[in-house]
Amino acid sequence: MIDASSLDRRAEALRRDINFHNYCYYVLDTPAITDAEYDRLFRELQQLEEAHPELICVDSPTQRVGAAPLGTFSAVKHRVPMLSLNNGFSEEDIEGFDRRVREVLDLNEVEYFCELKLDGLAVNLTYENGLLVKGATRGDGSEGEDVTANVRTIKSIPRVLVGPPPPALLEVRGEVIMFKSEFQALNQRQRDAREKEFINPRNAAAGALRQLDPRITAKRPLRFFAYGIGAINGPALGESHAEIITRLRTFTMPVNDSKYSVRRGLAGLLRYYHEIAELRSKLPFEIDGVVYKVNRLEHQNRLGFVSRAPRFAIAHKFPAEEALTEVLDIDVQVGRTGALTPVARLKPVFVGGVTVTNATLHNEDEVRRKDIRIGDIVTVRRAGDVIPEVVNVLSERRPTDAREFVMPSRCPVCGSHVSRAEGEAASRCSGGLFCSAQRKQAILHFASRRALDIEGLGDKLVDQLVEGNHVRSPADLYVLSVNPLEGLERMGEKSAANLMAGIERSKQTTLARFIYGLGIRNVGEATARDLAYHFGGLQALLDADLQALQSVPDVGPIVAQSILEFFHEPHNVEVIEALRHHGVVWSESAPGFNTAPTLPLAGKTFVLTGTLPNLARDDAKMQIEARGGKVIGGVSKKTDYVVVGEEAGSKLTKAQELGIALLDETALLALLDTNRKGNLLGTDS
């Protein structure tokens, strides 16, 4: 049984914590915990006080909003208090809100105005006779800070209200925010200047607005969106919140009304919530929920306020996208190109609507830059379906025994040598075909259409073959028997026989296809073809040193190094020998070619844009390349042709500006047809 004194102590501890975090958040702009953690503390205290009203005291944070203003700005007393909103987290919370509203108003169904809950900071703008005379932060709700000089630097805030004559006094309330893209650009500038980065757009906006030097504020990309009014002296702006918003817009006030909506009843609210949740990641700014406000002002007045918040409005919060947790360890994951990605193993934490246990740390430099250590408390972010990532470390909470991450020198999966090329962010396992983490992908690549072209070998099947240990390298494909195949999921007698036939057919190949199929880093189809032409046979390629490799046209030091490293791994050579042993053959020619024979489209560059009516992009690319042409991503003066499909974008405009030849699908096919590929060591049979 919990006794009264322990409840008292808990309430006291919560008050102390919340006040401390208010100070960190509102005054120092340096939150020590996430919003979700703060909300949890606040709700616990609220619930405790609801159940035991005798615990409520005047200085409880539930009885006021925010913290006292920083002494350095002069204080502004709000004519009308700037209140906060109650939060709802579940559909039941919103159902309860709607029920209470209906009970007070004695209505079956209520009309609501639905808005976005912008994640920035609230300001109050005072207009006297249409002139902006003051800008103030919310502060503790009754007294804020005078940030007039800073607010005047925000371009979207009108200095003068235009349009119809405004009331003699009008206070406009809204949120100062920073757009996500502008936040990223700002952080890039901070990085370039070797200055501290901001944690999130809200923090960056708060920091900028609360600069003592308005010249700094002016350089920060701040925005403002109005969501309501404070004091007003003059004729009312309307009878509903919707009318107020519309009037504000006629004064050229920025309002986010393209996403605002009037809805009826609980079902209408919940539909709005889901619509916005879908849109959330696509919005240019961050929101942490939606806000429902009873639309009719007369209804709002009847509902009134309860302590710190109106009873006529509620914020329906989205699952927090950020949470704090502990880094239990840092592992290394081997990706399909052999890149070693450090991954933080986290103490499970509920964030972005799911329980997260891992977060990518991208690469070694990123771990250093953010200074993430094993044992650290970190902010984890999971926005939309994006892979969770570590945003920052709470360095003040670092334990003394926190350990630094060291990139292993051997692949944790296969033990092969790990290297990191100069100027590259990724460290890579050199194990290639031998490394089991790379094996599945390597097998798929080997079997792909432009390599050995094994029909019927898709990714699901490769998964099963590798997991069941039936296939460890591409060479094992050639010793597969029907027996284990038939035991696999969705694999009948017929498809097993088809696959066997496909594998058998693939044995007859070309040297260029074979080299490409090995999946050597930096060796694409065109380079594989060049190598095949140049060396004529595989042994000559295996024997080539750095210099010999670099004498192949278009093979520079990076490509040459990749090739050498690949053939240096004994496992790769073993797989090649096994493939030949199992009957993979191609015709070889004498070595000594110095240049690749000219294919009809050699030296021509193509850019593809838009969707072609019949030809898949990959097919178009393959056919151009088979004739020696190069397909590149961006249009420049050097581009020879731009192939234009439906919904072509900026590449078309650029091509037109530069006067580059445009081809539609028919013209492309005609060009390909008159330039059938030469038949030397072509990659296609």
Please list every residue from 130 through 149 that binds ligand IVH, using CB under 6 A: 138
Smallest gap from Cβ 230 to ligand IVH, in A, equals 9
Task: By CB under 6 A, name the one of 291, 314, 324, 390 that touches ligand IVH.
Answer: 291
CB of 140 to ligand IVH, least distance (A): 12
List strand residue ranges (DSSP E) for 335-381, in order. 339-351, 354-360, 377-381
Between 557-568 and 570-581, two packed helices, what is the crossing angle to 10 degrees?
70
Spatial distance between the Cα atoms of 121 and 225, rounded to a whole number of angstroms: 11
Q: How far apart are CA 486 and CA 106, in angstroms?
A: 69
Tell me the C-alpha distance between 361 and 373, whole Å: 11
Cβ 121 to ligand IVH, closest distance in Å? 6
State which residue has the least CB distance to ligand IVH. Answer: 122
Residue number with CB closer to ligand IVH (115 or 453): 115
Cβ–Cβ < 8 Å for 55, 8: yes
Near ligand IVH by CB under 6 A: residue from 17, 29, 98, 175: 175
Six token digits for residue 489: 């999921």
Token pair 């704090």 is found at: 324
Crossing angle between the packed helical segments 459-467 and 436-447, to the nearest 10 degrees: 140
User: Please, which residue, 122 or 655, has the CB nearer to ligand IVH?
Assistant: 122
Ranges within 218-277 binding ligand IVH (CB under 6 A):
227-228
Contact criterion met (CB below 8 Å) for 332 and 364: no
**638 and 655 Cβ atoms separated by less than 8 Å:** no
Q: Work out how close the CB of 251 gets to ligand IVH at its nearest, in angstroms, rounded to a whole number.
A: 18
Alpha-carbon distance values, 266 to 279, 297, 350 (Å): 20, 19, 27
Q: Taking a C-beta distance cutoff of 8 angstroms, is the pair 130, 161 a contact?
A: yes
Q: Which stretch binds ligand IVH (CB under 6 A): 113-121, 184-192, 373-381, 557-565?
A: 113-121
Q: Which range, of 9-17, 309-317, 381-389, 612-620, touches ligand IVH by CB under 6 A?
A: 309-317
Q: Tell me the window of 34-42, 198-206, 307-315, 642-650 that interacts with ligand IVH (CB under 6 A).
A: 307-315
Among 17, 115, 364, 625, binds ligand IVH (CB under 6 A): 115
Give the 3-state secondary structure of residue 77: strand
Tell me, by CB under 6 A, how many residues bind ligand IVH: 15
Q: Residue 228 Cβ, how far from ligand IVH at the closest point, in Å? A: 5
User: Whose Cβ is closer to ligand IVH: residue 117's or residue 651's?
Assistant: 117
Could you tell me the smallest distance in angstroms from the CB atom of residue 309 to ligand IVH?
A: 7
Phi-psi region of 457 (alpha: psi -120 to 50; beta: other; left: phi over 0): beta
Smallest distance, ligand IVH to C-beta of residue 613, A: 46
In sequence order, the β-bridge partners of residue 123 are 137, 174
138 or 521: CB nearest ligand IVH = 138
Distance from first CA to last CA of the chain, Å, rounded?
82
Residues 171 and 232: beta-carbon distance below 8 Å: yes
C-beta of residue 37 within 8 angstroms of C-beta of residue 14: no
CA torsion, points 593, 511, 440, 432, in degrees to nearest 10? Answer: -40
Nearest-angstrom CA–CA distance, 2 and 13: 16
| E strands, 165-221, in order | 169-178
Q: Please tell me the distance from the alpha carbon of residue 61 to that of residue 76, in angstroms, as a whole number.
A: 21
Annotated catalytic residues are: 117
Shortest Å, Cβ 640 to ligand IVH = 53
Smaller CB distance to ligand IVH: residue 293 or 621? 293
Among 178, 313, 491, 631, binds ligand IVH (CB under 6 A): 313
Nearest distance from C-beta of residue 202 to ligand IVH, angstroms: 10
168: which 2 tokens?
């003699």
The smaller minimum CB distance to ligand IVH, of residues 120 and 629, is found at 120
Q: Max CA-CA distance within the chain?
A: 96
Nearest alpha-carbon partner for 453 in 520, 502, 403: 502
Residue from 46, 84, 358, 419 in contact with ligand IVH (CB under 6 A): 84
Nearer to ligand IVH, 45 or 660 (CB): 45
Residue 117 binds ligand IVH, judged by CB under 6 A = yes
Q: State which residue, 85 or 663, has the beta carbon closest to ligand IVH.
A: 85
Per CB under 6 A, the segment of 81-89, 296-304, 640-648, 650-658 that binds ligand IVH is: 81-89
Q: Which is nearer to ligand IVH, 122 or 154 (CB)?
A: 122
Q: Looking at residues 429 to 488 of the shown chain, list those that interact with ligand IVH (rule: CB under 6 A).
A: none
In the complex, which residues of this chain contact ligand IVH (CB under 6 A)? 83-85, 115, 117-118, 122, 138, 175, 227-228, 291, 310, 313, 315
